[in-house]
Structure 1
Amino acid sequence: MTTGVPAATTATEKDLKLTIINPPNLYDPTPNGYSTAVIVPREARVAYISGQGGQDSTGALSPDFAVQVKQAYANLRAALDALGARPDQVAKLTVFVVDHDMSKLEVLTKNVEDMFGKALPAQTLIPVPKLAIDPMLFEVEAVVALD
């Protein structure tokens, strides 16, 4: 049993309120950069952002995993901006990691915490042998609740 974990918190005090659920009788996922569950308000529209890889605006990919992850989250942020959405409106992330190991988890957690702060979305990490383009090492997709 994890202590000190609130049963529910609100992602934002503004218009849209996602409710983040981290039950105290489950493992506390927040140190790993995610929440157990997120409830989207009934009146919200939902947008799905396709997988964002670590390509820069020219399509170039660094061979470095950490650089790709940072760029992928910058690309996700650009997609959110295009929707008029904020990071605290992201309800769910799915991340795909080529040849995942525990050393990559620290990089992932830092980038998620940098982007989302305490409003950590629900998240699933899926280790994969490869992605759409051979040099791609990371991809992130998102489900977003819109005002």
Structure 2
Amino acid sequence: MMTGLAHRQPAAPPGAGPQVEVCVLHRAPTTLPDVRHWARAQFEAWHVPADALQEAELVFSELVSNAVLHGYGDVVSCRIEAGAADLRIEIREHVVREGAHTAAPPPDTRSEDEHGRGLLLVEALSSDWGVAPTLPGPDGCRRVWARIGLADR
């Protein structure tokens, strides 16, 4: 049982192009083990090669942990997609309560202190990654995404 997680069905039917899965969770540290297990199970179901699976698992874990532990939203949605050339991981922090939004600055991957090293790993393991601007207002969200290349694996 996934405590605190609201799992949705696949966003794309099998064989209809890229495989997509979405999971929505309340922003609470107790949800992290379950959502990490959910992502790994999806990557394994998609037969992601072992080296790419390890990279995707680490990148997913860092991004979702940052959203849950350091984010500003009430709800976090996780979207993972497997295409022919890459895996795409997208984490969104959603504000659903009025007054809950306090804009967090974009992450600094150059930080040498104890925090921020996870994003250095994300940068090193991803073929591409980024942070979309925070949208203002009660429906605002911040989106962090990464791609893990699958070519030549």
Q: Decide: shared fold, TM above 0.5.
A: no
Give me the TM-score of the superposition, normalised by structure 2. 0.33
Larger relative contact order, structure 1 or 2 (CA cutoff 8 Å, min sep 6): 1
- TM-score w.r.t. structure 1 length? 0.33
